[in-house]
Structure 1
Amino acid sequence: MEHLALATRPKSIRLKDYVTLTKPRIISLLAITAFCAMVVAQGRIPSMALTVNTLSGLALSIGGAHAINMWYDRDIDRLMERTRHRPLPSGRMAPSEVLSFGIFLQSASFVWLASRVNLLAAETSFAGFLFYVLIYTVWLKRRSPQNIVIGGAAGSFPPLVGWAAATNHLGWTPWLMFLVIFLWTPPHFWALALYKRQDYQRANIPMMPVVKGSRTTIRQMVLYATLLIPCTLALHWTDARLGWLYIVLALLLGVIFWMLTAALSLPHPRITPERVFFASLLYMAGIFTAVVVATLAG
C-alpha cells in the first residue's frame, strides 16, 4: 500500500521531491567555484560547450551525493526540525527510490564528464562524491565534532573539477582554491550549528557547539576566519594571473568576514550566528567573484 501511495503522487510533487534531494542551492554555490576555477585556468571565459558540460556533470555528482546522504541520514532527519520535512522522513519517498536515484546521478555524472569533458574531471568529481558519502556521511558525521572540518573537504573539490576540465591537469592554484573552501567550511557550518544546536542535540550529532559549547566554537570560527585571509591573498602569488585589484577585494572581504565572526565573542553581541551563516555564503561568493573579475581585468 505504501508503494502504491508513493506511485500515485502528483508528478509535480514527485519532481519537486527529486529536486529537493539534490540540494540545488548548494549545487549552485559549488558550481560557481568550479566555473571560477575554469576562468582562472584559461584566463578568459571558457567556451559555452565546456562550461555547460562541466557544470552539468558536476551538478549530477553533487546531487547524487546529497541524495545518498539523505538516504543514509533518514533516521536522524526525522528528529530535526530543519530536516524533518524532507522527502524521506516525511514519507513522500521510499528509501530504495532515493538510493537508486543517487547512484544513477553519480553514474550519469561520471559517464558524462568522461565522455564530454575529460577523464581527470570525471575522476576528480567522483573522488569528491566518495569523500562526501564515505568519509563525511558514513564515518565522521555521527562520530566526531571534527565532522565538518575533515568531511568538509568534500565541498572543496569543485575548483579541482573545474581546473581539470579546463586544462586536463592539476597545479598549485586549484589546490589553493581547495584550501580556501576547506578553511571556510568550519565557520560556515558552525554558525549554522550554533543557531540550530537543539536540532543537533535532539539527533545526537556531535557538532562542535553541542560537544564543546558556544565559546569554544566561536574561538575556532575566529581562528579559521583568520587563516582564510592569508590563504585567499596567496592566490595572488600563484599562476592565477591575479593583480592588486584582487588583493584589495580579498583583503576587504576577509576583514569584514573576520569582524562579523569575531563579533560573536563579545559579551553582548549585536550579531547572531544566523547572520554570520548567511554572511559566510556572501563571503565565499564574493571571493570567487573577485577571482574572476581580477582575472578578466588583468
Structure 2
Amino acid sequence: MKLRVVELLLVTTVPALFLATNGIPDLSLTFWSLLGGTLAAGGANAFNMVIESDTDKLMKRTANRPISTGQISKRNALLFSSIISLLSLAIFYIFTTELATVLTALAIIFYVFGYTIALKRHTSQNIVWGGIAGCMPVLIGQAAVTNSLTATSWLFFLLIFFWTPPHFWALAVRYKDDYAAAGIPMLPVVAPIRSVINQMWFHSLAMVIVSLLVIRSAGLSNWLFVITLLLIVGWKRQLIKLTKQPSEVNAGKLFQASIIFLSIYSFLLVLGVLLK
C-alpha cells in the first residue's frame, strides 16, 4: 500500500476538511474520509505494484517489494487491490458525499491507467501530469464536507500540482541509475541536471505564488503569509545548494525539505482556520 506515500496524501486531506468546514470538521466525517482515503491510495499503489512487478525487480530501491520477490502473487495482490479500492468507494459513498466518491474513483483510475500505464514509461513529464492523482485528496476533502468544490480547493489542488515535480525529481536524481536500469524516462534520466534544476525552479516558484493565494482565498490571517515565506526560504536554500552543487546528497536534502514544507504548511492552514 506504500503507506509512507499515503501519509503525505492524508496530510493534505486534513487541512482540506478544515478549510471546507471553516472550522473543526465533524469527527465521524474526518475518520471516514481519512480511512477511505487511505484505502483508495493504498489500493492504487498496490495496483501500481502489480503492474510494475517486473520493472521493480530491476531497481535496487524496489527489488524487495513483496510481489517482486514472490512473497505475494500477482493474483492475490490484484484481489487485495480491488477489494480495498471498492471498499474505499463504499466508505465515501455511505459516509460522505457522491462527489467525493466520484473524485476518489477518478483518482484511482487516473493513477493506475493514466500515470502507471500511459505516462510513466512513455514521457519524461510523467510525474508532472501523473501527479494530478496526488492532488485529488484536497478536492476530495472539500467535496466530502460540502459536495461541491471552491476556488480555495482548486488553488490548494494547484499548490500540490506544482509542489509534486520538484519533490519527486529530487528523489529521481538520487535514484537516477535505478530508473535508467528499468528503462523509465524520469526527467533526471533523460535530461541534463541543469535542465532538471531549471524545471524545479519553475514549478517551485509557481508553488510559492499559489501557496500565498490559498491563504488569501481562504481569508486566513496575514501572519500565515510571513511564516509561509519563512518555510519557502528554507526550501529554496536547499534548491540553491542543489543548483550550486548538483549531487545526490543535496537532492536528498531537497526531497526531505519539500516534505517538511508541505507538512508544516498543511498544519498552518489548520491553525489558521482555528484562529480565524
Alignment TM-score, normalising by the size of structure 2? 0.97
Check if 1:250 corresponds to 2:240. Answer: no
1:283 to 228, 252, 261: 261
For residues 111-122 of structure 1, the aligned pairs below 5 Å read: 111-122=90-101
1:184 to 126, 148, 163: 163
Output the CA distance in 2 between the equivalents of 1:24 and 1:187. Answer: 21
Query: What residue in structure 2 maps to residue 163 of structure 1?
Result: 142
Output the CA distance in 2 between the equivalents of 1:223 and 1:150. Answer: 15
Query: What residue in structure 1 maps to residue 192 of structure 2?
Result: 213
- Residue type at the aligned position of 2:270: V
Moved more, 247-256 or 111-120: 247-256
Indicate the structure (1 or 2) with the bigger Cα radius of gyration: 1
For residues 117-136 of structure 1, the aligned pairs below 5 Å read: 117-136=96-115
Give, in angstroms, the shift of residue 269 of structure 1. 7.1
- Residue type at the aligned position of 2:211: T
2:180 to 191, 194, 201: 201
- Residue type at the aligned position of 2:229: L
Check if 1:149 corresponds to 2:156. Answer: no
Moved more, 39-48 or 265-274: 265-274
Give, in angstroms, the shift of residue 203 of structure 1. 0.3
Task: Judge conservation of contact 2:238–2:250 (CA < 8 Å) in 1.
Answer: no
For residues 1-298 of structure 1, the aligned pairs below 5 Å read: 22-238=1-217, 240-267=218-245, 272-298=250-276
Task: Judge conservation of contact 2:57–2:63 (CA < 8 Å) in 1.
Answer: yes
Task: Judge conservation of contact 1:153–1:182 (CA < 8 Å) in 2.
Answer: yes
Task: Judge conservation of contact 1:263–1:271 (CA < 8 Å) in 2.
Answer: no
Output the CA distance in 2 between the equivalents of 1:267 and 1:93. Answer: 42
Per-residue CA deviations over 1:194-229 (Å, capped at 9, x if unaligned) read: 011110010010010110021111111122111111
Higher relative contact order (CA 8 A, sep 6+): 2
1:211–1:268 CA distance, 2 compared to 1 (3 A): closer
Task: Judge conservation of contact 1:260–1:271 (CA < 8 Å) in 2.
Answer: no
Structure 2 gaps of 5+ residues are none
- Residue type at the aligned position of 2:50: W
Q: Aligned residues: percent identity? A: 37
